[in-house]
Amino acid sequence: MSKRLKDKVIILTGAKGLLGKETQVSLKKSGAKVVAVDIFEDEMNNILTFDVTKEKEIDKLISFTMNEYGRIDGLVNLAYPRTEDWGERFENIKLSSWRENIDMQLNMVFYVCQKVLEIMKTQQSGSIVNIGSIYGVVGNDFSIYEDYDGTSPAAYSAIKGGIINFTRYLASYYGKFNIRVNSLSPGGILYENQQHPSFIEKYSKKSLLGRLGRPEEIAWPTVFLLSEEASFITGHNLMVDGGWTAI
């Protein structure tokens, strides 16, 4: 196994989720020292408890990492906080809910990046991967939800689209400091026993590879973008979607 991130200090938010768990495994296999954080405690999997929707908690996370390791080489913004009414149809979304989701997701990415990038600027090195989505790039295909009366949250497309272009902004702003900032946009990922069979079938038919992705198929491209193997890649949005956005 290539140790492409040997001894690199990487902060990973949203580490307890399906993608987060797999990303932590891949980062560690690559030799990284992972500061894995989530709002939910999980000592068994070495996940620290920090609420990255709160400014003071983010400050504590940065301070902890610097006190523990003295540097930050990478950041993966994978956390996916959301309100309980996240799945409401567009016409029923409350403005207060819209604002809260924008604040928890998009504004959180801004603040974490701001704090980490000032450290990377001093180091004159670093790499950030922000997680976007196919629906931050193209419009939604609502036909894949029709059989079970499902939908895709409106705020999701706004947040992910914002994150992708914010990534380009950061890449432009910090490139002169030898810092790379990229985004990675997953397509549909298979969650065992969590998705309606109709969704899986319809999504798979539209995918050029005829299936949904696996968590590790997001984790390893994330490792690549953090590594020196991607040393001339910045401001890029890597589509990892089985060809969903190709046609």
Looking at residue 176, its amino acid is K
Residue 7: burial class (beta carbons within 10 Å; 0-12, 13-18, 19+): exposed
14: closest CA among 4, 88, 42? 42
SS3 139: coil
**Residue matched to tokens 């902004």:** 169
SS3 44: helix
Candidate list 69, 111, 156, 173, residue with the active-site label: 156
- Residue 156 appears among annotated catalytic residues: yes
199: closest CA among 136, 122, 144? 144
Token pair listed for 4: 């492409």
What is the rounded CA–CA span in Å between residue 38 and residue 208?
33
For residue 12, CA distances in Å to 23, 51, 213 come to 8, 13, 21
Looking at residue 169, its amino acid is Y
**Residue positions annotated with a catalytic role:** 156
